[in-house]
Amino acid sequence: MTQSLDPGARRAILEAVDALRDWSVTTLAGLVRCPSVLGQEHSALEEMARLYAGLGLEPRRVPTLPEQLAGHPGFSPPLISYAGRDNVVAVHRPRASTGRSLVLQGHVDVVPEGAADMWETPPYEPAIRDGRMYGRGAGDMKAGIVSYLTAFKAIQLAGLQPAAEVQMQSVIEEECSGNGALACMLAMPKSDAVIIPEPGPGLDALYTAEVGVVWAWVTVSGRPAHVRDMQAGLNAIEAAQIIGEALKAYEREMNDGSRIHPAFRGVNHPVNVNLGTIEGGEWNSSVATRCRIGLRIGVMMGYTAAQTRADVERIVEQAKQHERLRGAQVKLEFKGFMADPCVFDTEAAIVQLARRSYTDVTGGSLRDYPATGLTDGRFFALYQGTPVACFGPDAVDIHGIDENVGLDSMHGITRTIALTMAEWCGVEKV
Ligand SMILES: [Zn+2]
């Protein structure tokens, strides 16, 4: 255990965080302006490289190479090519390594904005209303990334630097595979702890557990006909609906109380099956030839992604026996998430320290959050044995319309990370 932080250094660091508040809001706005949806992450990645360089660190690109990752149990089948989308990392090295090393990790990718016309202000034009910043990715999780950057910068502004190695990792594809996080984790040395500032559900929170997720794609090819001979045709859209209903029945079954892990006690409906996308059909008066649905299936602790995949294969196979699917061709594919669930070790020293620091700087306490979605934290926890403190600011409507994050809350998280980093790594005078 390193010695506890000198009170003068502590005060100087927290004052520096306060002095950097405007900088952090401007930096967040700059990142939200990067529309970093799948395949379009380059502007956000370049911005991260620029921000790392601004801290005096040398940004380095880490490619995501499926051929190297494919044998890893955390790997998910890719959706698109990784060319031109390299992750960005930067490493701080102390003069004398006396403390414990740390990884600060965040994903730059965001989910699509959805119906842009439903947003009060455009999704990639950050706007502040009532102390909250609105914009796609503001909460999930660009605020968290800015929190750790500001925390590091504040330690520097206080005339100090961490007395241990600090890695910063900006990754892609947290929202669809996690392969960016996996690539960076494997490319970099193992550290003593990881902080991932993912957002809390409308309040400041610490992730205690997270479900796994499997993505599946079902393509049904029917038999086209004019609607006047509808009985002669086989409607692919209606057939796909039958498969969708079978998977919703599976969802009900998996939410039965007997199947729910204690970490999720009290959480309403933790295992979610989402019919996320549908495309198909050709003409209102033609029986639809082809329909493709994209699904996201939650995985409860006690089950694995591989088991869930087998369940989905079985359900789709059974649904094919339905009389309305007779003669249809059904193709089932698994691309994107093949992610196992994960319980975080909340007794770990980094978690305890983060909780203590949060209470110290805000007077409140971080709420426990068993998440019905996932983070990149699972890679470090499940496959590397590195303790993870995943906690972040109050964000609302992430993945929805008018996503926003509380700026006071973000500031509190920044203060928490600064203090946690200084205590964990120790500090040395520059
Ligand atoms: Zn996220």
Q: What is the 3-state secondary structure (H, E, C) of 319-380?
A: HCCCHHHCCCEEEEECCCCEECCEECCCCCHHHHHHHHHHHHHHCCCCEEEEECCCCCHHHH
| pLDDT above 60 for 2 | no
| pLDDT above 90 for 176 | yes
Q: How far is the CA of 141 from the centre of ligand 1 (A)?
A: 5
Q: How far is the CA of 75 from the centre of ligand 1 (A)?
A: 18
Last residue of a domain, one of 339, 357, 381: 339
As a whole number of angstroms, the distance between CA 182 and CA 171 comes to 9
For residues 176-180, give the mean pLDDT: 98
Q: Residues 371, 330: one domain?
A: no
Q: What is the DSSP annotation of 108-162?
A: --------GGGSSS-TTS-EEETTEEESTTIIIIIHHHHHHHHHHHHHHHTTEEE
For residues 334-362, give the mean pLDDT: 97
Q: Residues 201, 232: one domain?
A: no
Q: How far is the CA of 139 from the centre of ligand 1 (A)?
A: 8
Give, as residue ranges, everything with CB less than 5 Å from ion ligand 1.
Answer: 140-141, 198
Q: How far is the CA of 140 from the centre of ligand 1 (A)?
A: 4
As a whole number of angstroms, the distance between CA 220 and CA 324 comes to 12
Q: Residues 177, 270: one domain?
A: no
Residue 158 lies in domain: 7-210+341-429
Q: How far is the CA of 395 from the centre of ligand 1 (A)?
A: 11
Q: Residues 162, 184: one domain?
A: yes
Q: Residues 112, 160: one domain?
A: yes
Q: Residues 220, 307: one domain?
A: yes
| pLDDT above 80 for 372 | yes
Domain count, the chain: 2
pLDDT one-digit tens code per residue, 280-311: 999 999 889 999 999 999 999 999 999 999 99
Last residue of a domain, one of 317, 339, 361: 339
Q: How far is the CA of 222 from the centre of ligand 1 (A)?
A: 38
Q: How far is the CA of 55 from the centre of ligand 1 (A)?
A: 24
pTM comes to: 0.96
Q: How far is the CA of 199 from the centre of ligand 1 (A)?
A: 7
Q: Residues 38, 155: one domain?
A: yes
Q: How far is the CA of 174 from the centre of ligand 1 (A)?
A: 7
3-state class percentages of the chain: helix first, strand second, coil last, to nearest 5: 40, 25, 40
For residue 104, being part of any structural domain is answered with yes
Q: Residues 276, 199: one domain?
A: no
Q: Residues 276, 139: one domain?
A: no
Q: Residues 137, 277: one domain?
A: no
pLDDT one-digit tens code per residue, 71-111: 999 999 999 999 999 999 999 999 999 999 999 999 999 99
